[in-house]
Amino acid sequence: MAIVVVIITSMLVANAAQTFATPNAAFISFNLASGANSAAITPATNRSVQVIGCCTTLGYQAVGQASLLHIPSAGIEWVGLESYNGSPAAITQGDSSTAGTHIVAISLTRTIDIQVASASTIRVHNGAIGTVAGNVTLIW
């Protein structure tokens, strides 16, 4: 019996293939006036993309993250965690191609967020009263 297990295991290992890819990343800084949007950001298509955003402006400092799937010309799907604002962590999830749809909050007040910009892009939106700064990192 042990010989059969060794033979089957050897066959499975011989047929297994792993591909290791060097991660790609994009780093985007922003400095936005109240009510402004960043330029559109296009995530890689048909693969998982980790998006991590933070606001570095005093009084708004926080971080949020989501895993995205960009389906070309169809929309963006996501699941992640909203920024901490003193209450328990909140899950964010959804799918949309409609500009302005909230993806994930990245500020203490949850007024700065990453949104859908189009069926193929995302953006940072400043819904706070003053100018805010921060950055977004995409890893795929």
Angle at alpha carbon of residue 98, lines to 94 and 100, rounded to 5°? 90
- Mean pLDDT of all residues in 111-120: 98
How does pLDDT run across 66-96, given as a tens digit for each residue?
A: 999 999 989 999 999 999 999 888 999 999 9
Distance CA 95, CA 85 (A): 24
Which range is least confidently modeled, 20-29, 34-43, 52-61, 74-83? Answer: 20-29
Number of domains present in the structure of the chain: 1
Q: Which domain holds residue 119?
A: 21-139
Q: What is the CATH number of the domain that holds 79?
A: 2.60.40
For residue 68, the tally of other CB atoms under 10 A from its CB is: 23
Q: Per residue in 123-136, pLDDT tens?
A: 999 999 999 999 99
Contacts of 9 (CB under 8 A, 6+ apart): none
Residue 20's Cβ-count burial label (10 Å; 0-12, 13-18, 19+) is exposed
Q: Within a domain: residue 67?
A: yes
